[in-house]
Amino acid sequence: MKNIVILISGRGSNMEAVVRAAESQKWPARIAAVISNKPEAGGLAFAAARGIPTAVVANKEFATRAEFDAKLQETIDGFAPDLVVLAGFMRILTAPFVEHYAGRMMNIHPSLLPLFPGLGTHQQAIDAGVTEHGATVHFVTAELDHGPAVLQARVPVLPGDTEETLSARVLVEEHKIYPRAVQLFVEGRLVIEDGAVRILEHADVSGALDTISS
């Protein structure tokens, strides 16, 4: 059984997609906790209603990023995670925090990285006049919105698209690729090699044994 801790800041629709997939596909994994940096995050209610432990570590209550990240790390580690899933978690993380979860923390970003890191990705895509946009699930490294990509989804940018119409089209795909990427991790099928992700056709032996023994 692998433990997954999901971090959110708001609505939590990607968290919801992962929770639903884990349940319906009966992954050998449990969502050990959903943690938010905002007490008002809408996704907390969904998690609590499903009996998932929730916690809030409010960044507003900490004077520095380092202090916030230290408390967040302590809270996450209390749930013994195999994987930390950033699902609309809108915080820049310190290097020691990222290093602590190297190879076991994923993020979803609403663009075809390396295009359009940062905020306002849908408007950036419209302004740049690209005909294709999308989302990327990647392992988190110290550089914001970088790190080895696991899966990408592509959507067309249509004439007349606004930030709203384009983000809605991308979000539908996010809800497909994020659960799939987490499932691949749970199955022990993701290997990071030379800064890139290789997806194994079958679970590696150590991952399989781990699943059998726990």
What residue ranges bind ligand GAR (CB under 6 A)?
Answer: 8, 10-14, 87-88, 108-110, 135, 171, 174
User: Residue 53 Cβ, how far from ligand GAR at the closest point, in Å?
Assistant: 19
Spatial contact of 181 and 83, defined as CB atoms under 8 Å apart: no
User: Residue 142 Cβ, how far from ligand GAR at the closest point, in Å?
Assistant: 15
Sort strands 29-36 and 190-193 into parallel, antiparallel or unpaired.
Answer: unpaired
Nearer to ligand GAR by C-beta: 109 or 133?
A: 109
Nearer to ligand GAR by C-beta: 13 or 59?
A: 13
Distance between CA 202 and CA 156 in Å, rounded?
A: 32
User: Residue 167 Cβ, how far from ligand GAR at the closest point, in Å?
Assistant: 7
Nearer to ligand GAR by C-beta: 12 or 179?
A: 12
Identify the helix (H) or strand (E) that includes residue 211: helix 205-213
Is 109 known to be catalytic? yes
List Cβ neighbours of 72 (8 Å cut-off, separation of 6 or more).
Answer: 7, 35, 37, 57, 97
List Cβ neighbours of 123 (8 Å cut-off, separation of 6 or more).
Answer: 163
Nearer to ligand GAR by C-beta: 19 or 207?
A: 19
Spatial contact of 88 and 10, defined as CB atoms under 8 Å apart: yes
**Exactly one of 100, 109, 122, 175 is catalytic; which is it?**
109
User: Residue 213 Cβ, how far from ligand GAR at the closest point, in Å?
Assistant: 33
Catalytic residue numbers, as ranges:
109
